[in-house]
Amino acid sequence: MINKRQVQGFKLAICFVAVFAASSAYAAGGTLDTMFADVNAFLAGIIFFDVWPGEPNMPFIVMWLIAGALFLTVRMGFINLRVMRHGFKIIRGEYLLKEAKGQISSFQALTTALSATVGLGNIAGVAIAISIGGPGATFWMIIAGFLGMTSKFTEVTLAQMYREFRPDGRIMGGAMEYLSLGLAEKGLPGLGKFMAGMFALLIILASLGGGNAFQVSQALGAAQNELTYFNDNPVIFGILMAIAVGVVIIGGIKRIAHTAQALVPTMILIYLLAALWIIITNAELVPVAFTKIIKEAFSPVAVAGGMVGVIVQGFKRAVFSSEAGIGSAAIAHSAATVKYPVRQGIVALYEPFIDTIIICTMTALVIIITGVYNAPEYADLVTANKGAALTSKAFGSNISWFPTVLTISVVLFAYSTMISWSYYGERCWTYLFGEKFSMLYRVIFILFIMLASITTASNILDFSDLMMLVLAFPNFIGLYLLHSKVKRELQKYLYKLRNGELDREVQQQL
């Protein structure tokens, strides 16, 4: 008899054979870069158009994100400031109830979502934002992170409200569910189904771009600085990453959650300790760095378009880093074991706070303090959008041995991001095509790991930006139309919290 583990191993072997064959064919043809460039030009011409009179160019989708996040923050009464302490208690498991349903814990959902956001957006993305937009981009990244906390709260709460428990025990949840079901409740079933399908398709493409190819490309760039072998053999790096990712994603959300729970806290701690060391040892430069951040946020000198230009750079990179407002993390949070949907939404507030406000700010301080973003000797890295390599140079200028550690961190950050985004893409693929075709998506995902090792960072970065940002369009339509339902549930929850009812529920089961 062939057991389940042997079957999984056989499937995995098929994936790797398919990957190797396809990637070899593409490498021989040498057409991948051209393909990415053509796709990018086509999509950019359709989904981005200027909504700002005169110069500079303000893409509609960036304005859409700013307006939406600001609207929700005011509408929810600045919930991103009011419940952080309560959210920490939920993460610690203090409000876990026996009757709650789900596949993973609130903490595992948070670390799974963080593993998709805390990574190369923080390491590579910040460096790219500052090299293009100057230190002032940091200020707008922080503002975007603050406003994005409410966007994240709203979309995760909706994902919990409209999640579906499948017969096999797996949960289907995310923007595709609250768009289709929620808009149907509003008397717009046709629009809901169309937007849900659009969202699912875009998530699949984003998972292959920003959640996969961009991660591999940036990790490869960092690895090549330490191991020159990969300069001549990048496809070997792709094979190794494909194997490492494939072993985990075959096991589904529970294996992904356990892996993320083990990796993410350790990775964040190592990275933040190194950043903190550089900041402390250069304490006299910190006030100067903050002065540059604030001054150039309103009077930039390094980016075309003045203040609007630097806002665009800050928000673009913040969205890519925290994913607030694009609906991706809601897929992971929909599997969390909670009684009240609002409860997981409160947990989700911590994502942009940790990812953008803390980690991105510390990365930015290191880059500005060391001055690598405008150093002539690193101009080639800036031109090639090799943000991870640029950040490595920043750390290495103060901690000579740390580039090696950072290289390992970059690879692990990329790895954790990829396994989480594979779940997002797989859930959306399943939503469109059914459970029986989920293995096909995993094969395609592993294939893109290989392809990313033989194309350039700039084309992948453009493709990733396009896919990530355009997700905000269908997602925010759902958030706008359904936010009143979230607000009502939030008011009920806060009332129960204030009068002690939530604490009594926990005490009664002890």
Q: Could you give the CA distance from residue 288 to residue 286 in angstroms, rounded to a whole number?
A: 5
Contact at 8 Å (CB) between 45 and 472? no
Q: Among 79, 151, 145, which residue's Cα sits nearest to residue 361?
A: 145
Number of independent structural domains in the chain: 1
Question: Is 1 contained in some domain?
Answer: no
Q: Could you give the CA distance from residue 324 to residue 145 in angstroms, rounded to a whole number?
A: 8
Q: How many residues does the chain have?
A: 510
Per-residue pLDDT at 485: 94
Per-residue pLDDT at 459: 62
Per-residue pLDDT at 267: 76
Other beta carbons within 10 Å of 424: 25
Question: Is 445 contained in some domain?
Answer: yes
**C-alpha dihedral (144, 301, 376, 319), degrees to nearest 10:** 10
Q: Bridge-partner residues for 172, per DSSP? A: 164
Secondary structure letter of residue 17 according to DSSP:
H
Q: Could you give the CA distance from residue 67 to residue 472 in angstroms, rounded to a whole number?
A: 11
Question: Is 375 contained in some domain?
Answer: yes
Q: Could you give the CA distance from residue 286 to residue 304 in angstroms, rounded to a whole number?
A: 26
Contact at 8 Å (CB) between 80 and 150? yes
Contact at 8 Å (CB) between 249 and 445? yes
**Cα Rg, the chain, nearest whole Å:** 22
Question: Is 274 contained in some domain?
Answer: yes
Contact at 8 Å (CB) between 150 and 76? yes
Antiparallel, parallel or unpaired: β 171-172 and 164-165 = antiparallel
Give, for 409, the enclosing helix (H) or strand (E): helix 402-433
Which range marks the domain in which residue 358 is found?
Answer: 9-505
pTM to 2 decimals? Answer: 0.82
Query: Which CATH number belongs to the domain containing residue 350 in this structure?
Result: 1.20.1740.10
Give, for 154, the enclosing helix (H) or strand (E): helix 136-161
Q: Could you give the CA distance from residue 396 to residue 412 in angstroms, rounded to a whole number?
A: 18
Distances (CA, A) of 95 to 86, 87, 290, 353: 10, 10, 39, 21
Q: Could you give the CA distance from residue 73 to residue 81 in angstroms, rounded to a whole number?
A: 10
Collect all residues with Cβ–Cβ distance below 8 Å to 429 and sequence separation of at least 6: 200, 204, 437, 438, 440, 441
Query: In sequence order, which ranges of 209-282 are alpha helices (DSSP H)?
Result: 214-226, 229-232, 234-249, 252-281
End-to-end CA distance of the chain: 45
Using DSSP's 3-state secondary structure scheme, residue 112 falls into helix
Per-residue pLDDT at 12: 45
Q: Could you give the CA distance from residue 255 to residue 258 in angstroms, rounded to a whole number?
A: 5
Chain position carrying tokens 């599997």: 335
Per-residue pLDDT at 52: 64
**∠ at Cα 452 (450, 456), nearest 5°?**
145
Contact at 8 Å (CB) between 123 and 215? no
Q: List, run by run, the mean pLDDT of 10-residue segments along the chain (510 residues).
A: 47 45 44 63 68 65 84 92 89 83 83 74 75 83 89 94 82 89 92 91 83 78 74 80 80 69 76 86 89 83 64 73 82 88 92 86 88 77 70 76 74 82 88 83 83 64 70 90 94 92 82
Question: Is 79 contained in some domain?
Answer: yes
Q: Could you give the CA distance from residue 286 to residue 316 in angstroms, rounded to a whole number?
A: 25
Question: Is 2 contained in some domain?
Answer: no
Contact at 8 Å (CB) between 373 and 130? yes
**C-alpha dihedral (389, 394, 399, 401), degrees to nearest 10:** 10
Question: Is 510 contained in some domain?
Answer: no
Question: Is 3 contained in some domain?
Answer: no
